[in-house]
Amino acid sequence: MFWAIYHLEFLVKLAGTGRDYFRRRWNQVDFILLTIHDSISLLVCLELLTCLPGAFKLAIVARGVKFGKILRFVRTSKTMSVILSTYRIIMGQLVNIGLLFFLFIFIFGILGQNNFAFVQVVPYSDGMAPEHVYTFSTFVGSIILLIQCATYQKWDYYLQQLAMRQPGCHFQTVQDVQREGVLGCGSSLAYPFFIAFIFIVPLITMNLFIAVVIQGYDLSLREYEAELLPRHIDDLVEKWAEYDPNATGFISPQNFAFLLHELPPPVGLKDEGFQYEYNQKTTPQHLISPNKKVALTQKQIFKVISNYNLALYSNELLHFKDAYLCISHLAICRRHNLTKLAINQSNVITQLNSSWYTLFPALKRHKAENRSR
């Protein structure tokens, strides 16, 4: 049944999109997997793969790659994007807090083993087996006991056992412990020990995890409530790289118009106005983009250039910095239905120019040449 569904899906998509079907990477993956599955099935039917009995099952398992399409949901879902972005932001901080947590566990474990290694601990009154009652007799037992106390599990019981004097307890040496077992008496040091541990580890260190998660989620939510999301900027950079393969930072105004009509709002103009796909009917008046995906008339190109009003440098090209600032400015205006946005950009522009002039020395030279003209 699934074999028929996969083939029906392929035929419907191919009939609906035509040659554009193979432009999408997931469609290419589907076609390759479908071809492999059909080839193995055919060879199995012809009994040419009798030496490889698991080949048919392997082909079925390979179809599981299709479930990778679920990852596309993360890109389009704001909630999932915010959650994953929160993990990305807080991961480094969580690692640091985790290391701090285990550092405190290690320190208190050493202190507990030095002070309470020979203290007798009676099993739980609820009948739990003695081997499940951890003590400070060994370092591993000390770490497990403290981790158990960090979750507030029976920490008061351990405090009581390590602070009280059990009947028949007495001072012991190492030889006495080896001969008699642990029968040492408790110490009043257990009270400051456990109070300090509960205050530092569960109340402070563990709550730091919650504080970092809340802060990271707040930062991620603010980031994704902006007019331009990180994925919009990534799309712009990726598309710019197609028109600027040498990473000079410059492209022609004509290519900038093509670029905008390949990107959807709020960055580009793909969904606005007419259809600009190259596979539509074109006339001699149309100019075709280098990647042959967009066809625009000179009037449409001039309209884009005049609306964005970007500066041209001495090489008659425009720069990514100016394009990015203009796109961001227009995105804010469109989001809030503003005709003009007055922002004191002096500090922002100064910092941005200094970084861009460091990365692109040619930009400053072209700007100086443009002023001299």
Tokens of 5: 């569904």
Shared-domain flag, residues 35 and 98: no
* Arithmetic mean of pLDDT over the chain: 76
Mean pLDDT over 21-41 rounds to: 74
Percent of the chain with pLDDT over 90: 9
Q: Which of 262-266, 280-284, 287-291 has the lowest mean pLDDT?
A: 280-284
Q: Is residue 265 domain-shared with residue 318, that is, in the same domain?
A: yes
Least confident of 173-187, 238-252, 307-321: 173-187
Residue 274 is predicted with a pLDDT of: 46
**Structurally, how many domains does the chain consist of?**
3
Structure-token pair, residue 172: 């012991």
User: Do 104 and 219 reside in the same domain of the chain?
Assistant: yes
Query: For residue 250, how many other CB atoms are within 10 A of its CB?
Result: 21
pLDDT of residue 146: 92
How do residues 174-229 score in pLDDT, each as one tens digit? 777 777 777 778 888 899 999 999 999 888 888 898 999 999 988 888 877 777 77
Mean pLDDT of 252-270: 85
Which residue, 224, 251, 269, sits at the end of a domain?
224
Nearest to 158 by CA among 95, 199, 215, 112: 112
pLDDT at 107: 94
Residues 87 and 68 in one domain: no
- pLDDT higher than threshold 80 for residue 159: yes
Q: How many alpha carbons fall within 13 Å on the CB side of residue 42?
A: 6
Q: Do 284 and 172 belong to one domain? A: no
Both tokens of 347, joined, read 């500090």
Same domain, 63 and 173: no
Last residue within a domain, chosen from 37, 59, 75: 75
CB 296 within 8 A of CB 286: yes
pLDDT tier for residue 20 given thresholds of 50, 70 and 90: confident
For residues 102 and 220, state if they share a domain.
Answer: yes
Taken in order 93, 97, 100, 102, the sign of the CA dihedral is: negative
Tell whether omega for the bond before 192 is within 30 degrees of 0, i.e. cis: no
In terms of domains, do 264 and 156 share one? no
One domain for residues 255 and 318: yes
Partners of 293 in the β-ladder? none
Res. 337: pLDDT tops 60: yes
Residues 292 and 190 in one domain: no
Residue 214 is predicted with a pLDDT of 92
Residue 136 has pLDDT above 50, yes or no: yes
Q: Are residues 89 and 59 in the same domain?
A: no
3-state secondary structure of 178: helix
d(CA 342, CA 356): 23
**What local confidence, expressed as pLDDT, does residue 253 receive?**
87
Q: Is the pLDDT of residue 349 over 70?
A: no
Last residue of a domain, one of 224, 251, 267: 224
Token pair belonging to 42: 């055919």
Q: What is the pLDDT of residue 273?
A: 44
> Which pLDDT band holds residue 106 (cuts at 50, 70, 90)?
very high
Asked if 220 and 235 sit in the same domain, the reply is: no
Rounded CA gap, 104 and 171, in Å?
29
> What does the pLDDT average to over 304-313?
82
Q: What is the mean pLDDT of residues 231-240?
A: 83
Full residue range of the structural domain in which residue 290 is found: 230-372
Alpha carbons 204 and 194: distance in angstroms, whole number = 14
Instruction: Count Cβ atoms within 10 A of the Cβ of residue 333 and give its class: 0-12 exposed, 13-18 middle, 19 or more buried.
Output: middle
Domain containing residue 340: CATH number? 1.10.238.10
Instruction: Find the helix or strand (DSSP H, E) in which 295 lies.
Output: strand 295-297
